[in-house]
Amino acid sequence: MTVYLYLSLIPEALVASHLPPEEYGAYLALGSKKRSHGQAVFFKLSDEYARKKIEDSPIAEELRDGRLRRSAYLSIHRVLEHTPVDAIESLHLTTDDGRVLKLDHAGYEPIPGPRFHLYQEFCPITPRVVSELEPRAFAAEITDTSHAVSLPALVFAELVLERLGDDPEANGVDNLPYGGIEHLRDCLRELRAKPGKSTKLVVRHLEQDVLFRTIHRGFFVAGSGGAFRFFPMPTRQELETTHYAWWRSALRSGI
């Protein structure tokens, strides 16, 4: 029986399961008795890495002979930092009614963009920050252990900032779906006023589901030694055509 290995980001955990990603996502979102629901974001790890981890697991036999249930937690602490970035195969975004979108990793090329970026961190911590650094530079900075504040690894996504990306004073940003727009402006103003400061905390931790429609470009994984992986979001047109069922569900998520 095939056993899959997943790295769940909400909450951080390493999970073995007999369910393939689509079914596992639905299971995470809805539970076995369908009485719970909620977003899920998880990585599928490579088969090779999965085999190795499962062999080392104390429940290896139960997993192999199919006795185990739909999910068996192998680890729930500091999982990301112990997972090699190149073992991360695909990212799966699950809406709160169990629809799953698979994102494959792709090469990353920095593109000339706005001065400021808004990042939502997912794992191992969940603050929201604004930064002058583009994603790869931000990833390098946050995992640089020579800094007083650093992380061994991080998963984060860039969020839309619209005109605030260039000008913290910009008008016509009422349509941004974030609470506390004035506080966001203050954070951006502070970055602008202090040239030596590249990043500023906006929200200490994630308090509610992420609106998938606010994801700009995609998700990023930063690991030690400059390891970096990019999972681009499909274009709006692809979402509205190829992935319509997921997109429709994602638009309703959190309502």
Q: Closest separation between CB of residue 236 and other proteins, Å? A: 12
Which of residues 60 and 211 has its CB atom nearest to other proteins in the complex?
Answer: 211
Q: Is 252 in the site for other proteins (CB under 8 A)?
A: yes
Q: Which two tokens stand for residue 113?
A: 């963009």
- Per-residue mark of binding to other proteins, 211-250 (x: CB under 8 A): x-x--------------------------xx--x---xx-
Residues 136, 119: Cα–Cα separation, whole Å: 12
Q: Closest separation between CB of residue 251 and other proteins, Å? A: 5
Q: Is 169 in the site for other proteins (CB under 8 A)?
A: no
Q: Closest separation between CB of residue 112 and other proteins, Å? A: 26
Q: Closest separation between CB of residue 211 and other proteins, Å? A: 5
Distances in whole angstroms, Cα of residue 58 to Cα of each of 55, 62, 68, 79, 215: 8, 9, 13, 17, 38
Out of 98, 135, 165, 218, name the contact with other proteins by CB under 8 A: 98
Residues 39, 100: Cα–Cα separation, whole Å: 10
Residues 73/80, Cβ–Cβ less than 8 Å: no
Residues 187, 181: Cα–Cα separation, whole Å: 10
Q: Which of residues 117-146 bind other proteins (CB under 8 A)?
A: none
Q: Is 73 in the site for other proteins (CB under 8 A)?
A: no
Output phi, psi for 27, to 5 deg: -65, -40
Q: Is 70 in the site for other proteins (CB under 8 A)?
A: no
Q: Closest separation between CB of residue 149 and other proteins, Å? A: 30
Residues 161/117, Cβ–Cβ less than 8 Å: yes
Radius of gyration from C-alpha coordinates of the chain: 19
CB-based contacts of 154, cutoff 8 Å, min separation 6: 80, 121, 123, 124, 125, 139, 142, 143, 221, 222
Q: Which of residues 19-38 bind other proteins (CB under 8 A)?
A: 26, 29-30, 32-35, 37-38
Q: Is 97 in the site for other proteins (CB under 8 A)?
A: yes
Region class of 98: left (phi > 0), else alpha (psi between -120 and 50), else beta: left
Residues 163, 236: Cα–Cα separation, whole Å: 19
Which of residues 138 and 178 has its CB atom nearest to other proteins in the complex?
Answer: 178
Which of residues 203 and 251 has its CB atom nearest to other proteins in the complex?
Answer: 251
Interface residue list for other proteins (CB under 8 A): 26, 29-30, 32-35, 37-38, 95-98, 174-179, 209, 211, 213, 240-241, 244, 248-249, 251-255
